[in-house]
Structure 1
Amino acid sequence: MSYVYQENVLAKTVKAIHRLDLHLLAKIQQFKSHNLITRYCRYISFSADGYFYVLLGIYLLYSSQYELFNLVSLAFIIERIIYFTSKNLFKRNRPADCIDGFCSSIIPQDKFSFPSGHTSAAFLIAGTIGIWYPSLMAILYLWAVWVGLSRIILGVHFPSDTVAGAALGASVAAMVL
C-alpha cells in the first residue's frame, strides 16, 4: 500500500510541475514576439553551443593554466556523463513535440529536453572559471542565467529543464572545486 501511495504522490508532483512549466513557458514565450529579444537569445544560445568551451580550453593551454584546464576538463567529463545519462533516462519531449501548435525558434541539437545541456554547461563554466577569476563571476553567472532564459524563449526547453541544468552544472562545479 505504501508503494502505491508513493507512486501516486510522485505522479501528482510530476503533473503539478508540468502544469507550472506550461504556465511559465507561456508567460516567457511572450518575449518571443519581440524580434530583437529573439535575435539576442539566438546569439546567447549559440555562445553555449560548445565552440566557446573549445576555445576556452585552447586559451587555457596556450596561457599555461594547466591546473584550471584540468579542473574544467574533469568537470565537463563528469557533467556530460550525468547529462547524457539523465537525458536518456527521463526522455522528456521538447515543447514543440508535446504542445499542439507550438513552434520553436531554433532547431534543437537533440531530441529530449531534460535537463538543459546548454544551461548546465554554462553554469559549470560560471562556477569553475568564476572561482579562479572572482572579478568575472558576476558576468559569467549573468551569462549563464541568460543562456537558460534564451533556451526557454527560443522554445526548446521548459523552465524546469533549465533549472535542472543550472543545478547540475553548479553542483558539478562545486564538487570538483
Structure 2
Amino acid sequence: MDGNNMLKKVAQIDEQLFLTLFNCKSPSWLKVIAFGLSKSGDGGLYLLICGAVWWLSNNEPYQLLPVTLLLGFAIERPIYFLAKNRFARVRPCDCLVTNAYIVPSDKFSLPSGHSAAAFLVAMILSHFFPEYTWLLFGWASGVAISRVVLGVHFPADIMLGAVVGSSCAIFSLALVVPE
C-alpha cells in the first residue's frame, strides 16, 4: 500500500469514527455534558487557574505554575495557528454532516485547539499537583472528545491537538521548573 492509499484509508477510518461518536440520536444529557466540557476549554478557566494559584500561593514552586502555563501557551498558540492554516482540513460539520451542535470559531479543524490547550493545562497542573493527575487528564480527554461529539472535529484532530499540547507542556516545564 503506497502513502496516498494509506492516508485515504486513515481518513476513512477517521470519518467512520467521527460518525460513530457524532450521533444525532445521542441522548440530550450527553450533548449537555459535551457542551459543558467544551465550554470549560474555552480559555477563561485557564486564566482563573493562573490568577488563583499566583494570588493564593506563598510557596515558591507553585508560583512557577502561572509562568509555566503562560510559556506553554506562548509556545503552543503559534504552532497551533501555523498547523491549522497549513493543514487547512475542513471541519466535519462543513463536509460530512450539517447539524453540528455548536458553531466553531474558525473554518479549519486540524489540530483541535481545545484539545491542545486542555492537554497543555492538564500536563502542567499534573506536574504541580500529581495527586490530581487522573482527574486532570480525565477532564482534558472529556474536553477533547466533546469536540467530536458536538460535531466540529474529527478524532484525528483531537489526537493531534493532545500531542501538540502535551509536547508544549513538557517543553515549558523543562524550561521553567528546576529539577
TM-score under structure 2 length normalisation? 0.89
- Structure 2 match to 1:129: 125
* Residues 31, 37 of structure 1: 8 Å contact kept: no
Residue type of the partner of 2:21? I
1:25 equivalent to 2:18? Answer: yes
* Residues 31, 153 of structure 1: 8 Å contact kept: no
- Structure 2 match to 1:89: 86
1:144 equivalent to 2:137? Answer: no
The unaligned stretches of length 5 or more in structure 1 are 1-7
Deviations 1:69-125 (A, max 9, x none): 1111101110111101100111111001112x4311100111110000001100001
Superposition RMSD in Å: 1.5
* Residues 92, 154 of structure 2: 8 Å contact kept: yes
Moved over 4 A (4+): none
Residue type of the partner of 1:162? I
* Residues 57, 69 of structure 1: 8 Å contact kept: yes
Q: Per-residue deviation at 1:42?
A: 0.2
Select the residue among 75, 78, 86 that pairs with 1:78: 75
Q: 1:32 to 1:125 in 2, by over 3 A?
A: farther
The total of aligned residue pairs comes to: 169
1:87 and 1:10 mapped to 2: Cα distance? Answer: 22
1:13 and 1:147 mapped to 2: Cα distance? Answer: 29
1:9 and 1:85 mapped to 2: Cα distance? Answer: 27
- Structure 2 match to 1:172: 168
1:69 equivalent to 2:66? Answer: yes
1:107 equivalent to 2:103? Answer: yes
Q: 1:32 to 1:155 in 2, by over 3 A?
A: farther
1:111 and 1:26 mapped to 2: Cα distance? Answer: 19
SS in 1 for 2:22: helix
> Percent same amino acid among aligned pairs?
38
Residue type of the partner of 1:115? P
